[in-house]
Structure 1
Amino acid sequence: MCGKFSTLLLNICIGSLCKARRLDKAEFVVVDGIRLGCLPDVVTYNTLIAAYCRFVDFDQAYLIVSRMKEAGVKPDVVTYNTLMAGASRHNLPSQCQYLFQDMSKNGVVPDEWSYNTLMHCLFNCGYPEVAFKIFSDMNSSSVSPSIITYNTLINGYFKSGRAVNAVMAFRRLQKFGFSPELVTYNTMLHGLFKSGKRGQARRIYKEMRESGIAPNAATYTTAMKCWFRSRNFEDGLDIFSEMMSRGYTSDVFAYCTVISALAKRGKTEDARVCIRQMLKNGQGIDLACYNALIYAYCKEKNMNDALLLLNEIEEAGLECDGYTYSTLVDGFCKLGDFSSAMNQMRVMETSGLNPNLVAYNSLIDGLCKAGMVDHALSIFKMMRTRDSFSYSALLHGLCKVGRFHVASKFLLICARKGINVLKSSKRAVLRGLRCSGFGRDAKKLKAAMWKAGFLHYEK
């Protein structure tokens, strides 16, 4: 059972077992093959290396190189590329660089995939300068960059915060005669959007459409987010409609983007229609969708419909999170219904969620605006953590009812702890003390705040 055909059969068997993640069986087949005189070749070992990189870990995969050398099989460029891909997948930049250098030492010439894999690993692991150097070395070698190389480079520029360089690389790609693919345009759209360059992202999207490249679901989703963030809601909804009309099965993320945009515009009924469309298409409802609707109802002061959604969330097999309850607390506080707001805080606790800072701040702000400062003070003392908004809301509430000395004590605490409250809160306390005939106390407080480096007072 020797010869080329038997080795090919051996490799087919090992490849099938590796795909099925039966690496133990694949190793037994290698041993049996050797025992029967069917010696493994470089393809055999490369298949095992790929499987170990993917399903076990990089170190176990690298040990196979020693076995190759002992068997008299020389690693080839595929061997090194597979190991580098494994190192990249496990975010091991030093090992990836070592393998790249080891190739040349052993007389193996790196190819395009070697450079691309190393650049991808370095960019992902936060070494953009080294990756740019590798790209320069590639240009000076006999290996020509491909469209995949430029895609990696463009993505790396965006990850390192160099959006301008990414656009320049994109234009250089076109100048050299490469036709950008859909992946390239998607990378550009995503990168420009994340960089806050939404105008350029829209131009790239228009350019892609004019070049005849059909968008996919990822393109549409990124474009929708870009349009919605730019407050071009109509254009964003048009893109969503086009996406649906072209037969793309939108994911939950795309639906949530649209539902959130509709809810923020107050179009709650349209948002509910979108949810029904999700269910019709077999998509599971995300909690974020419900939270967006609850936010919209609270904004409209329609608390009954907001509470009804809690039952729908439970029926869908989901559990409310801190954002859900915080939104309800804020909605009830804006209506002045503090008993219902406190009830939502208790429901949050019974659900195993600790009332968060947002919920507490909404309650304190609402109570202070309603003149219920003593109640706000008791809530404030219950809080484990407080931020600048907590203190600012309380200071305004105390000043509103003329309790300037109590407010000055809290303001002094902020000065000593470095909590930077609103300037309007500082001014309200100082002016309140002066207008109440406590000018000396106001001067002492101001001096203490200057000493703490806290006051940037404007008359």
Structure 2
Amino acid sequence: MRRGLPTRLMNICIASLCRARSLRKAELVLVDAIRLGCLPDVATYNILVTAYCRLVGVEDAYYVLHRMREVGLKPDVVTYNSLITGAVRWCCLPLTLDLFEEMHQVGLRPDVWTYNNLMHCLFKSGYPDHAFRVLADMESANLSPSPTTYNILINGLCKSGNAANALRLVRYLERVGFSKGIVTYNTLIDGLCRSGRLGGARRVFRELADSGLVPNAVTYTTMMKSYFRSRRFVEGLQVLDEMTKKGYRLDAFAYCTVISALIKMGRMEEASDFLDEMCRQCEARDRVCYNTQINLYFKLGKVDDALALLDKVDEIDEYTVSILVDGLCRNNRLPDAYSLLKYTATMSPWSNLVPYNCFIQALCKQGKAESVDFAMLLLNQLEVKDSFTYTPLLRGLCKLGRLIEAFNIMVTALRKGVALPCSIQHAVLAGLHSSGCKLHAWKLRSEIFRAKFRRSKLQVQGQL
């Protein structure tokens, strides 16, 4: 049997096919190579394990281990690291822990990569305390944490809502000699932005510039999106201007961020210009790009162009349906919006609450009794409801003077724990008083008080 170069060439070929998502062809190459006398090695099967984890699932990847053992090959640390990475990608903590334990049972010593993946999975699964225990276990095993280890810790703290602790950790690491890279800065800036601490994010951004490192496109896009999310559009556009002056090209995500912000500002012409530029610069556009484009077309009144884009979207999500329903309603095509709602209700795996909220709001805005009646019918059909479901309906009933119906619906919502806006509570109470229904107004005040008491009690229990 021939070994050496042919096996390495076979591995390169299999890896290329796996990267091209052609797993079946990669398996055929392996079969043909074995027929020609070229035996696979551990690296061959490790490539397949990684590909199955990424493209199919961890269970199918684990079956490759059995194939390895059948041909007399022993899985190594890389094999198990690939499986653990796959389990982390699918956020399967029990499987990750089982694989970690199995490594010890077969006599393999986990390396830094293994511990990093385990910590990442614990953070993703909502166990930050356990993740720090893994760090202690790593040090007990005489393994030195890598910069990636600390970046995982910082990212995990930020994602779990502990951006302040992440910043404290960074300051501590600096004192013990940890040198922050661009990934650390970007992670910290993103965490501070997501927690609403834009001032802290700006300070870290200035610190990055003073450190000698150069902010990259991710840094600028993170800051820009945070400004836009906080409705500080002028400052967000200033970051965009600085980013383009530094010579960075916007990716699809950055383009969508800018276009969405310009739409909110009402600057439709500039949004259209950025959309044209995105179409020229970004050949591969994902669902988010098409959602942004559809939303802009609806805002411009180009309904048919918006609907035509659906043929290019591989798979729609709840956000796509919400944009479609809202756009159709705003352009007075309510029958089409309702047809879409009925279709997605039978086909979609997600909740249709947001699209239905858009449709109910459009019905109630018409101010017609039959439209409000239809909205009430839809309300009764929905299993899940929130304040955005009830608020437009209550407002529509008040405008029509149907205050007793508004009273009954509002009492039902309060008893279900729905937190209604104060404005709609005052509107229904004022309507009941002005129409002479003072007893109903008194009862409603009592229900509002009880609802506030229940929420306060739950908050106290949650803190305990």
TM-score (ref. length: structure 1): 0.74
3-state secondary structure, aligned to 1:110: coil
Find 1:9's aligned residue among 5, 14, 21.
5
- CA deviation string 1:302-348 (max 9, x = no partner): xxxx32x2244356566884424424635xxxxxxxxx73xx10232
- CA deviation string 1:22-46 (max 9, x = no partner): 235425645765xxxx987xxx124
| 1:163 CA drift (Å) | 1.8
3-state secondary structure, aligned to 2:3: helix
1:26 corresponds to 2:30:
yes
Match of 2:336 in 1: 347
Q: Give the stretch that moved more between structures: 262-271 or 403-412.
A: 403-412
Stretches of structure 2 that go unaligned for 5 or more consecutive residues are 18-22, 314-319, 344-354, 454-464
Match of 2:112 in 1: 112
Contact preservation (8 Å) 1:321, 1:353: no
Contact preservation (8 Å) 2:325, 2:358: no
Contact preservation (8 Å) 1:329, 1:359: yes
Q: Give the stretch that moved more between structures: 242-251 or 422-431.
A: 422-431
Match of 1:288 in 2: 292
Which amino acid is 1:238 matched to? Q
In the alignment, the residues of structure 2 paired with residue 82 and residue 431 of structure 1 have an alpha-carbon distance, to the nearest angstrom, of 64
| 1:412 CA drift (Å) | 5.6
| 1:377 CA drift (Å) | 3.8
Backbone CA RMSD of aligned residues:
3.8
- CA deviation string 1:119-158 (max 9, x = no partner): 2233334443332111011223321111111112212222
In the alignment, the residues of structure 2 paired with residue 108 and residue 437 of structure 1 have an alpha-carbon distance, to the nearest angstrom, of 80
Aligned residue pairs, count: 413
In the alignment, the residues of structure 2 paired with residue 14 and residue 187 of structure 1 have an alpha-carbon distance, to the nearest angstrom, of 38
Q: Give the stretch that moved more between structures: 407-416 or 161-170.
A: 407-416
Match of 2:461 in 1: none
In the alignment, the residues of structure 1 paired with residue 132 and residue 77 of structure 2 have an alpha-carbon distance, to the nearest angstrom, of 22
**1:364–1:48 Cα change, 3 Å:** same
Match of 2:177 in 1: 177
Contact preservation (8 Å) 1:49, 1:64: no
Which amino acid is 1:142 matched to? N
In the alignment, the residues of structure 2 paired with residue 231 and residue 448 of structure 1 have an alpha-carbon distance, to the nearest angstrom, of 35
Which amino acid is 2:61 matched to? F
TM-score (ref. length: structure 2): 0.73
Contact preservation (8 Å) 2:65, 2:75: no
Match of 1:334 in 2: none
**1:46–1:188 Cα change, 3 Å:** same
In the alignment, the residues of structure 1 paired with residue 412 and residue 99 of structure 2 have an alpha-carbon distance, to the nearest angstrom, of 58
Match of 2:63 in 1: 60
**1:266–1:401 Cα change, 3 Å:** closer
Match of 2:212 in 1: 212
| 1:451 CA drift (Å) | 7.4
In the alignment, the residues of structure 1 paired with residue 439 and residue 27 of structure 2 have an alpha-carbon distance, to the nearest angstrom, of 78
**1:80–1:232 Cα change, 3 Å:** same
Contact preservation (8 Å) 1:221, 1:254: yes
Q: Answer with 1 or 2: which has the greater Rg.
A: 1
| 1:272 CA drift (Å) | 2.2
- CA deviation string 1:259-293 (max 9, x = no partner): 22222223222222222322343555633144247
| 1:353 CA drift (Å) | 6.2
In the alignment, the residues of structure 2 paired with residue 252 and residue 48 of structure 1 have an alpha-carbon distance, to the nearest angstrom, of 35
In the alignment, the residues of structure 2 paired with residue 196 and residue 30 of structure 1 have an alpha-carbon distance, to the nearest angstrom, of 58
Find 1:380's aligned residue among 375, 399, 408.
375
Contact preservation (8 Å) 1:58, 1:90: no
Contact preservation (8 Å) 1:446, 1:455: no
Matches within 5 A, 1:16-415: 16-19=12-15, 20=17, 21=23, 22-26=26-30, 29=33, 33=37, 44-55=41-52, 57-64=60-67, 66-67=69-70, 71=72, 75-282=75-282, 286-292=290-296, 294-295=298-299, 306-307=300-301, 309-313=302-306, 321-327=321-327, 329-330=329-330, 341=332, 344-349=333-338, 356-367=356-367, 372=368, 374-383=369-378, 384-385=381-382, 388=387, 392-393=391-392, 395-396=394-395, 399=398, 404-405=403-404, 407-408=406-407
In the alignment, the residues of structure 2 paired with residue 312 and residue 227 of structure 1 have an alpha-carbon distance, to the nearest angstrom, of 30
**1:84–1:346 Cα change, 3 Å:** closer
- CA deviation string 1:25-73 (max 9, x = no partner): 425645765xxxx987xxx1243133134226232133246347xx3x6
**1:153–1:350 Cα change, 3 Å:** closer
Which amino acid is 2:5 matched to? L
In the alignment, the residues of structure 1 paired with residue 238 and residue 435 of structure 2 have an alpha-carbon distance, to the nearest angstrom, of 59
**Percentage of identical aligned residues:** 35
In the alignment, the residues of structure 2 paired with residue 105 and residue 85 of structure 1 have an alpha-carbon distance, to the nearest angstrom, of 19
| 1:8 CA drift (Å) | 2.2
In the alignment, the residues of structure 1 paired with residue 431 and residue 307 of structure 2 have an alpha-carbon distance, to the nearest angstrom, of 49
3-state secondary structure, aligned to 2:213: coil
In the alignment, the residues of structure 2 paired with residue 456 and residue 130 of structure 1 have an alpha-carbon distance, to the nearest angstrom, of 36
3-state secondary structure, aligned to 1:356: helix
3-state secondary structure, aligned to 1:148: helix
In the alignment, the residues of structure 2 paired with residue 406 and residue 376 of structure 1 have an alpha-carbon distance, to the nearest angstrom, of 15
**1:318–1:311 Cα change, 3 Å:** farther
Contact preservation (8 Å) 1:326, 1:356: no
In the alignment, the residues of structure 2 paired with residue 99 and residue 437 of structure 1 have an alpha-carbon distance, to the nearest angstrom, of 70
Contact preservation (8 Å) 2:411, 2:447: no
Q: Give the stretch that moved more between structures: 417-426 or 255-264.
A: 417-426
